Amino acid sequence: MSPGTGFGKFVKEEQVNNSTINFWYSETDEKSLANAVKTMFTSEGYKLEEGTDSNGTYGKGSAGMRMILGGFVDRQKFSIKITEEDAMQKLQFSAGMSGLSGGALGKSKTDREFSRLAPKFK
């Protein structure tokens, strides 16, 4: 991310598993980082569906239609959690749904979207 976006200085990332990545930043605070994350998600068509800007779930698409039509409906949901660790801000980015409600097609879409969004946090 470019300077002045609120993300601060990117320090490192840690792949926890296939659906969770931790990102660490310096030179920012929780509120600024949360605002930057919210701006990024909003620009991608996501809305905060649950929780707060620093500990919540962003989603897009219809959950009801996903249950009816499965993977043919674009439904995505991702969770974020910002905490302070070692004088840095840690952003945990996780897939908020497995994609299994949409079968193999839904899982593939969720995995692709996770991989597409993750670099935006660097």
Residue labelled with tokens 């030179």:
27
**The pLDDT of residue 106:** 66
The reported pTM is: 0.83
pLDDT band at 69 (very low <50, low <70, confident <90, very high): low
pLDDT band at 4 (very low <50, low <70, confident <90, very high): very low
CATH: 3.40.50, 2.60.40, 3.30.310, 2.20.200. Which one for 9-121? 3.30.310
CB 25, CB 33: distance < 8 Å: yes
**The pLDDT of residue 32:** 95
CB 103, CB 70: distance < 8 Å: yes
Q: Where are the domains of the chain?
A: 9-121
Rg, the chain, Cα only: 15
Cα gap 4→113, rounded to integer Å = 26
* Average pLDDT for 51-58: 96
Asked if the model's pLDDT at residue 98 lies above 70, the reply is no
CB 54, CB 82: distance < 8 Å: yes
